[in-house]
Each structure stands twice: as C-alpha cells, then as structure tokens.
C-alpha cells in the first residue's frame, strides 16, 4: 500500500506541474469556449485562485479572437483553418501558445486589447510570418 500511495502522490505532482496539453479546434468563434475551458481547467488544477483563472480565461479569449482575424478572413478560409494551442504547466505558471494560418497582413491588436492583456497576464506577444500568426501568453500564480 505504501508504494501505491507514493505512486499516486507522484502522479498528482505530474498532473499539477508537468506535461503539455494540446488542443486543435476549427478557427471559428464558436470554438473559443473549448479554448477558455481548457485554460480554466488547467489553471484550477494548478491551484490558481478564482480571479487568476478568470484573468487567464479572458486573456486567452482575447488573443484567440485576435488570431481569428476579421469576418471576411474567417469566411474565406473557415473550412480548412484550425487553431493549434499548447498549454504548458509550470510549478507556478501557465504558458499558452497558439497559432493559425492567415492570409494577408497580421491584424494589429487594438489599444484596448493591449491594455486588457497587460492587466491580466504577466507576458504576451503576437507574431507572424509566412502565412502563420502565433501568440504566447504567460500567467504566474500569485498565491
């Protein structure tokens, strides 16, 4: 029994701090709920407070919506386009990276989006090249 208990404790630690979660969804606003839910579930598992979980949910939603581009871009490539997200758990932080294909120029985030992200997460960035747009955000656990 003692060895079994140590194995369970080790597994719990791995679930709290290790490994990545990968989510691939169609690049459409109706799938952002899954993106937010995955972020919230992982943050809760890592012991983030309710407010920190909500901050992360809002931030990942803001950045993913930015990745989707405007409605004309979505309509043109909606059938084949996906968003690929990787949620990386650290001992006291979560890093989320996302990417999707893009035709045309990389959309600039609005000033309001930048202010929201600055207030909610510790690090964030959006980059793009060769028909691909990516983002990265990091949220530290305060408690």
Please determine, for residue 72, whether its predicted confidence score (pLDDT) is greater than 80.
Answer: no
Task: State the virtual CA torsion across 30, 32, 34, 37 in degrees, nearest 10.
Answer: -130
- Mean of the per-residue pLDDT values for the chain? 84
* Residues contacting 42, CB < 8 A, separation 6+: 21, 87, 89, 94
* CA–CA separation, 28 and 65 (whole Å): 9
Q: Provide the strand spans (E) within the chain.
A: 20-26, 82-89, 93-101, 123-129, 132-140
Q: Which fold has domain 2-140?
A: Heat Shock Protein 90 (3.30.565)
pLDDT tens-digit readout, 8-63: 566 565 555 567 999 999 999 999 999 999 999 999 988 999 999 999 999 999 99
Residue 77 · residue 5 · CB < 8 Å = no
* Residues contacting 33, CB < 8 A, separation 6+: none
Q: Which of 69, 143, 129, 58 is nearest to 96 (CA)?
A: 58
pLDDT at 74: 47
pLDDT at 105: 74
Please determine, for residue 94, whether its predicted confidence score (pLDDT) is greater than 80.
Answer: yes
């Amino acid at each position: 029994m003692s060895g079994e208990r140590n194995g369970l404790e080790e597994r719990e630690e791995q679930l709290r701090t290790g490994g990545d979660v990968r989510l691939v969804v169609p690049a459409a606003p109706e799938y952002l709920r899954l993106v937010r839910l995955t972020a919230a579930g992982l943050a809760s598992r890592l012991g983030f407070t309710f407010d920190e979980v909500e901050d992360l949910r809002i931030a990942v939603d803001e950045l993913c919506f930015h990745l989707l581009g405007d409605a004309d871009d979505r309509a043109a490539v909606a059938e084949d386009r996906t968003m690929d997200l990787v949620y990386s758990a650290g001992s006291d932080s979560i890093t989320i990276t996302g990417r999707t294909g893009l035709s045309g120029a990389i959309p600039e985030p609005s000033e309001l989006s930048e202010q929201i992200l600055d207030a909610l997460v510790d690090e964030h960035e959006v980059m793009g090249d060769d028909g691909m747009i990516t983002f990265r955000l990091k949220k530290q656990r305060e408690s």
